[in-house]
């Protein structure tokens, strides 16, 4: 293998950046970019901390990330496994990145910026779903916002139903837990009980 160890080596491989690649970058949420945010029910949320990087899936009703103003986004932290990896990172290192996906749309949308955690009760209540507010929200201060071209989603055929895989082809979460815990977890029981547990703790 030939390892690249310098910027000069890297730039020798790749041609210059196209004008469109830079013209699409904004330092705020434009009206068009707002529509992409409001249409997205899923975000990959990247953070950085002393232990390293983390990328967490965040899914909710479409538009769950609120555009407070052109420089500020607010994301509710819904119920999960209480690991709070992303939140622990943000408290120590505010840098964040988000990748928005919209089902059926091959264009994705990216935001880079900094974040902090907020627990104002009135703000939390404004994110109620079924009478249940989040325990915190993440306030994201936008530094860069831009769409990503469609090549990755076209190549992957992510939205092509013909390419969808059967869950039966893969190990279940219970089976993975059982294997990693050397059978301390009863995988069959975990898988059987999870749908009901998730339904009760969705919000």
Q: Give the tens place of pLDDT for each residue, 189-198.
A: 999 999 999 9
Over the stretch 113-137, which tens digit does the pLDDT of each residue have?
A: 999 999 999 999 999 999 999 999 9
How much is the pLDDT for 15?
81
How much is the pLDDT for 18?
86
Give the global pTM: 0.94
Q: Are 61 and 75 in contact (CB under 8 A)?
A: no
Concatenating the DSSP letter of every residue in 33-67 gives HHHHHHT-SEEEEEEEETTEEEEEEEE-STT-SEE
Please report how the helices 187-200 and 173-180 are oriented relative to each other, as an axis angle in degrees rounded to 10: 130
3-class secondary-structure state, position 74: strand
């Amino acid at each position: 293998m030939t390892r690249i160890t310098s910027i000069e080596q890297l730039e020798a491989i790749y041609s210059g950046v196209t004008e469109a690649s830079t013209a699409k970058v904004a330092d705020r949420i434009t009206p068009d970019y707002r529509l992409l945010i409001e249409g997205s029910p899923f975000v990959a949320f990247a953070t950085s901390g002393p232990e390293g990087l983390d990328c967490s899936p965040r899914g909710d009703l479409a538009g769950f990330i609120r555009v407070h103003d052109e420089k500020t986004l607010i994301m509710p932290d819904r119920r999960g496994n209480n690991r709070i990896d992303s939140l622990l990172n943000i408290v120590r290192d505010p840098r964040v990145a988000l990748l928005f996906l919209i089902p059926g749309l091959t264009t994705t949308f990216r935001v880079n910026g900094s974040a902090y955690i907020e627990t104002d009760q009135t703000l939390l209540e404004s994110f109620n779903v079924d009478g249940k507010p989040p325990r915190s929200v993440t306030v994201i201060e936008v530094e860069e916002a831009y769409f990503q071209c469609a090549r990755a989603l076209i190549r992957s055929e992510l939205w092509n139903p013909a390419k969808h895989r059967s869950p039966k082809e893969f190990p279940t979460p219970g089976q993975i837990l059982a294997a990693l815990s050397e059978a301390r977890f009863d995988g069959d029981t975990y898988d059987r009980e999870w749908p009901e547990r998730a339904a009760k703790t969705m919000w």
